[in-house]
Amino acid sequence: MSTENEGTQVPPAPSAPPVPVDTPAAPAPTADTPSGPPGPEASARPEPAPAGEPEHAPRDAAPEPATPQAPAAPPAPAPQIPDPYAHTTGTHAMGTPAPGTHATGTHPAAAHAQAPAPASVAASGGAWPPPPPPAVPSYAQGGGSGWGTSWTAEQPSAPKPGGRRRGGLVAAVLAAALVAGGVGGGIGYWAADRNDDNSTDSTTVSASDAPADLKREPGSVAGIANKALPSVVTLEAQSGSGEGGTGTGFVYDREGHILTNNHVVASAAEGGKLSATFSNGKKYDAEVVGRAQGYDVAVIKLKNKPSDLRPLALADSDKVAVGDSTIAIGAPFGLSNTVTTGIVSAKNRPVTSSDGGSSKSSYMSALQTDASINPGNSGGPLLDARGAVIGINSAIKPAESGGLGGGQSGSIGLGFAIPVNQAKNVARQLIKTGQATYPMIGASVSLADASGGAVISDRGATGSGPAVEPNGPAAKAGLKSGDVITKLDETVIDSGPTLIGQIWTHKPGDTVKITYERDGKERTVDVTLGERKGDS
C-alpha cells in the first residue's frame, strides 16, 4: 500500500344515537312565574329551567302528587305560529343562535332540560309529568330538543330526525373542549409564570459548579491524555531556504532525546532550524541526532533541556491485539496537543511511504488505527489503554479526491504507525552511532504491486549487476532470480514492499524461514539475515 502522508385530520363529531325520552322533571317555580295551575298562555311557551339543572330527572325520582290520568296520545307538533317571546331568546329569523350566544342564553350542555310541556296535557289539566309516551325519540317529533323552543316554533316543518340533537351534542362537545383548553392554557400560563418568577430568562439547566463532583479515573482517556500531554512536543522544522513544516514528537529519555519521524525533521537536517514546543508553551531549540529514512525514524535532542522531562513508557508492540483501544496525540494541521481515539484496526499492514523530498521510500509493517491522524500528527505517539506507546504515527491513506479545495487530505480512518519495538531498536542505534542498520537477504525484488508474492529481479537495484549478491544470505540459501517468495516465517508475502517491511521487523543475524516457488514447485529454506549500514 502506498500512502501519503408530517396532522392527522380531526375526525367529525360523532352523531348521537337515538335516546328514548325520559320522564321530564317538573319545572321549579321561578320569581317571575305565578304558582298554581298553568294557564293557556303559560302552556304556550316553555319555562326556562334553572341554570345548572340536569338534562333529565333521574328515573327513580318521585313525581309530585297528582290524580292518575289515562295515557295521553303522543303530542302533536307545536302550531306553526310566531313565538311572541322570540325576542327574548336571542335567535335569528330562522332560529339559529346569534353569533356568540346560545339560543336560550344558557350553556349548550343544559339545552336538553328545556323542552316545553306538551300542549295537550296542559290543556286537559292533567297531572305533570304525564306518563311516558310511546317509544319515539322526541327529536323525531320536532319537540324541544336541541338549541331550544324558539327553533321549533319558527320552523315551517318538523326538523329531520337527529338534526338538532346532533347540533346540540356537537355544541356541547365543542364547548367542553374549549373549557378544557382554557383550563389547560391557564395552568400552562400559571406554571410558566411561576417558573419565570423563580428563574432567569434562560431555561437551561446548569451542572454543579463544584469541581470535586467530577472525577476522572487515571485509566480514562482524559486521565491518560492529562498524563501524556506534558511529554509530547510540537516540532517546527525549517530548511536553510526557509521551507519547512510542523510535526510531532515525544520525550524518549531524560537526556532530552525526542523520538519522531524522519520526514518531519528532514528539512532541518542540513543547516536548518528545529524547535520543540511543549504543552505548557515552553519552546526549546533542538538538533538532529540521527535519521533512518528507510524506517522513517529520527531522533533529535533538545538544547538546554528542562530538568523535569518525563519520558513516555514504551509498550511491547508485539503483544498488541486487533481491537485494542488507541489514543493518538499530535498537532494535526498545526493544532497542537490534539487528542483522538480509536482502536487497532489491523497489524502487520505493509505500508510504503515517502516524504516527497527524495526518491527513496520508507517501508513498514505497520499498526493500522482508525484514530484520526492528519498531517501534523506525524511523529506523535500512538498510545494503548494504559498510556504506553505502541507506535509512532507516520502515514495515512488519503481519500482519492484529496483534501478540501485541493489542499492537504485529511483522515478517513486509515492511519498507520511504526510499531514501537522497531522504532526503539532504531532509536538506540541512532543515539549510539548516528545511523541505523538494516537487515537484508542480499537480493533485489520487484517493487511492483503483485498478489502472488515477491519476485526476485533479474538485475540489481541500481539497474546493473546481479539481483542476488554473490555470497550474500540469499545466494547461500540457493535463491535465484525469478524465484517468487510467498511467505516469510508465517507471514504471507504478496509483494516486494511487503517482504521488505517484514524483513525490517527483524535484526541482522536473525534466521528466518522463506517459502518460495520455482518452476511451479514450492520450496522452503532458512536464511540468516545480513546487514546494511545507513541509507546509502
Task: State the SS3 of 330-356.
Answer: ECHHHCCCEEEEEEEEEEEEEEEECCC
Same-domain check for residues 290 and 380: no
123 belongs to a structural domain? no
Predicted confidence (pLDDT) per residue in 138-169, tens digit: 433 344 433 333 333 333 344 444 444 444 43
Domain end position, chosen among 268, 302, 336 = 302
Average pLDDT over residues 351-361: 74
Predicted confidence (pLDDT) per residue in 164-191, tens digit: 444 443 344 444 444 444 444 443 444 4
By residue range, what is the domain housing residue 361?
317-399+410-424
Predicted confidence (pLDDT) per residue in 473-522, tens digit: 999 999 999 999 999 999 999 999 999 999 999 999 999 999 999 999 99
71 belongs to a structural domain? no
C-alpha cell at 164: 338538532
Same-domain check for residues 290 and 331: no
Domain end position, chosen among 302, 332, 358 = 302
Domain end position, chosen among 270, 302, 334 = 302
Return the active site residues: 263, 296, 378
Average pLDDT over residues 105-115: 41
Q: What is the dihedral of CA 37, 43, 48, 50, to 10 degrees?
A: 20
User: How sure is the predictor about 399, in pLDDT bands with cuts at 50, 70 and 90?
Assistant: confident
User: How sure is the predictor about 66, in pLDDT bands with cuts at 50, 70 and 90?
Assistant: very low
pTM of the model: 0.61
User: How sure is the predictor about 353, in pLDDT bands with cuts at 50, 70 and 90?
Assistant: confident
User: How sure is the predictor about 442, in pLDDT bands with cuts at 50, 70 and 90?
Assistant: very high
Same-domain check for residues 269 and 335: no
Q: Give the residue carrying C-alpha cell 319545572.
A: 27
CB under 8 Å to 49, separation ≥6 — which residues?
27, 28, 106, 110, 113, 114
Measured distance CA(141)–CA(160) in Å, rounded: 9
340 belongs to a structural domain? yes
Same-domain check for residues 420 and 330: yes
Predicted confidence (pLDDT) per residue in 223-275, tens digit: 999 999 999 999 999 998 888 889 999 999 999 999 999 999 999 988 899 99
How many CB atoms sit inside 10 A of residue 380's CB?
32
Average pLDDT over residues 463-469: 87
Same-domain check for residues 276 and 342: no
> What's the pLDDT at 5?
54
Q: How many CA atoms lie within 13 A of 355 on its CB side?
A: 23
To the nearest whole number, what is the mean pLDDT of the chain?
Answer: 73
Tell how strand 338-353 and strand 362-369 pair up.
antiparallel
pLDDT at position 17 over 70:
no
46 belongs to a structural domain? no
> What's the pLDDT at 320?
97
The CATH number assigned to the domain holding 295 equals: 2.40.10.10
231 touches 250 (CB < 8 A): yes
Number of domains in the chain: 3
> What's the pLDDT at 330?
97
Q: What angle do CA 109, 95, 33 make, to 5 degrees?
A: 65
Same-domain check for residues 419 and 337: yes
Most confident of 70-74, 218-222, 450-454: 218-222
